């Protein structure tokens, strides 16, 4: 006798009609659910201004996208309201900051 495989059919619960949210309402709820530290970039730009803390280059509304926020302590979750863990760096200085850290670690490992 051949083995027959049997499937168990589960009934789906009936779909409710009329309680679907619009995409706009869903997006509003998702945006409200953002963690409180998610707006640290805008807060840092307001506190420290549109200037790179390393090279001193000034930015305006058209070039502000080139300005990033560096967490001085290295912890991206440490976002105090006074901005003490942030410094605004242009993308070039920010890249340089992290590259130097990696280079330093690499060089110090070779000496051991």
Residue linked to tokens 């201004």 = 49
Predicted confidence (pLDDT) per residue in 42-55, tens digit: 999 999 999 999 99
- Closest of 71, 12, 62, 13 to residue 43, by C-alpha: 71
For residue 20, what pLDDT is reported?
A: 64
Q: Report if pTM > 0.85.
A: no
For residue 109, what pLDDT is reported?
A: 78
For residue 3, what pLDDT is reported?
A: 57
Q: Which CATH number fits domain 39-110: 3.40.50, 3.40.630, 3.40.1800, 3.40.190?
A: 3.40.1800
Who's near 64: CB < 8 A, 6+ residues apart?
45, 50
Angle at 65 between CA 49 and CA 45, to 5 degrees: 20
Q: Is the pLDDT of residue 16 over 70?
A: no
Domain coordinates of the chain in residue numbers?
A: 39-110
Q: Which of 48-57, 75-84, 85-94 has the lowest mean pLDDT?
A: 75-84
Average pLDDT over the chain, rounded to an integer: 81
Mean pLDDT of 69-93: 93
């Amino acid at each position: 006798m051949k083995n027959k495989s049997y499937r168990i059919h589960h009934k789906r619960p009936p779909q409710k009609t009329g309680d679907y949210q619009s995409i706009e309402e869903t997006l509003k709820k998702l945006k409200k659910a953002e963690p409180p530290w998610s707006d640290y970039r805008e807060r840092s730009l307001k506190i420290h201004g549109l200037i790179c803390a390393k090279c001193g280059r000034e930015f305006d509304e058209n070039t502000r996208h080139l300005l990033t926020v560096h967490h001085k302590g290295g912890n991206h979750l440490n976002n105090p309201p006074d901005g003490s863990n942030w410094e605004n760096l242009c993308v070039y200085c920010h890249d340089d900051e992290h590259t130097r850290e990696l280079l330093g670690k690499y060089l110090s490992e070779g000496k051991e």
